[in-house]
């Protein structure tokens, strides 16, 4: 039911966008020439298909089809402006290359103004309509231990998409630790499952790992499944809601072996696509950014003593060691005694370094690391050997992040603030593991698009629960 709701939402929004894009260009043509005559010659059907596809693809990669939309009104507006500008440039280039003459500036500007206004209005209207007409998914969590309580809190934060009903007690022995603190949130025990489903209209059951050993419960879950109730494990639900894999709720390393996604790290097709994208984008970015390098170097030398570039050992794929290159953003000798976590308001950062870090210009030399093959554009951020040894001892499954090349940006970077402690590294690992298990060319493009959006408009991130 929940996934069906999401598909309905996305389908309706996409259909609305198609109508808006098509109508905006037709309307702009009519306003420009005062007639509809000749519109099919000016916009051949093939061009209209490519035109609409360009907008939809850009909208997708800039997260305009993510539900629920988490952007505020102002952020959403500028997100739509950026997406529309990028799509219009693609349309302009496509029409000129394929049809040998450009779209008139008047038509292009007017059409895009209409698209921005109408898409923004459609997003707000559809969001209100979904809340009014689409029934939220009624969720029951089986179990009352710490994992069950944790996922319950997360589900409760996702209203109106979900209607969190409460917990069913009586999983495996020892799964009752939270019952006394839950009061009316415990709706019953396994024998009451059918009654609870009928009474509350349950259509999604989340099964904590501690509950799967109860044979009596399993029989009742099978009956529930026959009634079209969706049943998912707690780890899968975490992934669905948070985009991370909760390592604290994984019981044993065999989970990673059984999970199909973790084979992507050794998939030759995926790796070749990633490498091709790395070479094309890194080479282009290096050429485009080269005029900035002497300016950055001069500012660094004027601001503080020391070298322009900074080299630091980092851990890469299969725990290989490589030299990571950066423009120096800290005072000379900032870590000559011992390695320390970098913090947001670190006093060791120079004035120019703070500016470079804010715009991520200090990381431009890492394009050379990408071309060398030490890094990829997208992946877990490379960590220092001194920290890796400590983190491997403190955090379960930490070494798994080294099954892929480290990245200039990554899923953890766009979803979580700067890591300044072991706990932060634990949270970021959960995002990294999600990325590794879902690694794909499209996900990489989406991460790059969100990284670009974050650089332009900022990307508010909150610490995971």
Residues 6+ apart with CB under 8 A from 106: 28, 32
Average pLDDT score over residue span 100-120:
88
Q: What is the pLDDT of residue 228?
A: 85
Q: What is the pLDDT of residue 459?
A: 58
Q: What is the pLDDT of residue 452?
A: 83
Residues 6+ apart with CB under 8 A from 141: 148, 151, 152, 155, 164, 166, 167, 168, 205, 206, 208
Q: What is the pLDDT of residue 205?
A: 92
Nearest to 238 by CA among 195, 270, 208, 276: 208
Average pLDDT score over residue span 326-339:
75
Rounded CA-CA distance 185/238 in Å is 20
- Judged against a pLDDT cut of 80, whether residue 428 lies above it is answered with yes
Q: What is the pLDDT of residue 182?
A: 56
Q: What is the pLDDT of residue 177?
A: 47
Tell which wins on pLDDT, 5 or 377: 377
Instruction: Identify the band that residue 127 occupies on the pLDDT scale cut at 50, 70 and 90.
Output: confident
Rounded CA-CA distance 317/339 in Å is 22
- Judged against a pLDDT cut of 70, whether residue 67 lies above it is answered with no
- Domains of the chain, by residue range, sit at 2-133, 137-242, 263-457
- Judged against a pLDDT cut of 90, whether residue 44 lies above it is answered with no
The DSSP H or E segment spanning 271 is helix 268-289
Instruction: Identify the band that residue 309 occupies on the pLDDT scale cut at 50, 70 and 90.
Output: very high
Minimum mean pLDDT range among 67-81, 363-377, 427-441, 451-465: 451-465
- Percent of the chain whose pLDDT exceeds 70: 86
Helix boundaries (H) for 324-459 = 351-358, 366-372, 385-394, 411-415, 422-437, 441-457
Residue with tokens 């996604």, as numbered in its chain = 261
Q: What is the pLDDT of residue 1?
A: 47
Local structure of 71: helix, strand or coil: coil
Q: Which fold has domain 137-242?
A: Rossmann fold (3.40.50)
**Whole-number average pLDDT of the chain:** 84
């Amino acid at each position: 039911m929940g996934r069906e709701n999401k598909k309905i939402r996305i389908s309706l929004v996409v259909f609305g966008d198609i109508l808006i894009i098509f109508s905006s260009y037709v309307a702009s043509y009519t306003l420009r020439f005062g007639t509809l005559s000749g519109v099919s010659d000016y916009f051949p059907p093939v061009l209209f298909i490519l035109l609409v596809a360009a907008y939809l693809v850009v909208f997708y990669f800039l997260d305009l089809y993510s539900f629920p939309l988490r952007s505020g009104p102002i952020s959403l507006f500028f997100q739509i402006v950026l997406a529309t500008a990028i799509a219009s440039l693609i349309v302009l280039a496509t029409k000129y290359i394929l049809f040998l003459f450009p779209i008139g500036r008047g038509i292009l500007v007017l059409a895009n103004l209409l698209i921005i206004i109408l898409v923004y209005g459609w997003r707000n209207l559809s969001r209100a309509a979904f809340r009014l007409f689409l029934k939220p998914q009624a969720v029951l969590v089986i179990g009352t231990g710490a994992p069950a309580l944790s996922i319950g809190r997360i589900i409760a934060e996702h209203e109106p998409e979900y209607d969190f009903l409460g917990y069913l007690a009586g999983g495996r022995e020892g799964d009752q630790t939270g019952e006394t603190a839950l009061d009316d949130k415990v709706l019953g025990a396994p024998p009451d499952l059918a009654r609870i489903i009928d009474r509350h209209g349950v259509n999604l059951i989340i099964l904590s790992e501690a509950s799967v050993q109860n044979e009596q419960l399993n029989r009742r879950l099978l009956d529930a499944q026959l009634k079209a109730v969706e049943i998912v494990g707690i780890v899968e639900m975490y992934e669905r809601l948070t985009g991370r894999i909760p390592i604290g709720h994984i019981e044993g390393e065999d989970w990673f072996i059984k999970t199909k996604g973790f084979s992507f790290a050794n998939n030759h097709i995926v790796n070749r696509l990633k490498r091709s994208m790395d070479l094309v984008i890194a080479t282009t970015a290096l050429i485009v950014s080269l005029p900035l390098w002497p300016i950055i170097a001069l500012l660094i030398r004027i601001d503080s003593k020391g070298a322009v570039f900074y080299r630091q050992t980092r851990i890469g794929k299969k725990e290989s060691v490589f030299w990571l290159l950066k423009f120096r953003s800290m005072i000379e000798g900032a870590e000559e005694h011992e390695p320390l976590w970098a913090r947001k308001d670190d006093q060791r950062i120079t004035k120019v370094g703070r500016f470079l870090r804010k715009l991520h210009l200090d990381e431009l030399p890492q394009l050379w690391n990408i071309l060398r093959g030490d890094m990829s554009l997208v992946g877990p951020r490379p960590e220092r050997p001194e920290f890796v040894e400590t983190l491997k001892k403190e955090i379960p499954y930490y070494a798994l992040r080294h099954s892929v090349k480290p990245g200039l940006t990554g899923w953890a970077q766009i979803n979580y603030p700067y890591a300044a402690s072991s706990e932060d590294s634990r949270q970021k690992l959960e995002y990294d593991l999600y990325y590794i298990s879902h690694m794909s060319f499209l996900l990489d493009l989406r991460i790059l698009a969100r990284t670009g959006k974050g650089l332009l408009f900022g990307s508010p991130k909150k610490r995971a629960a």
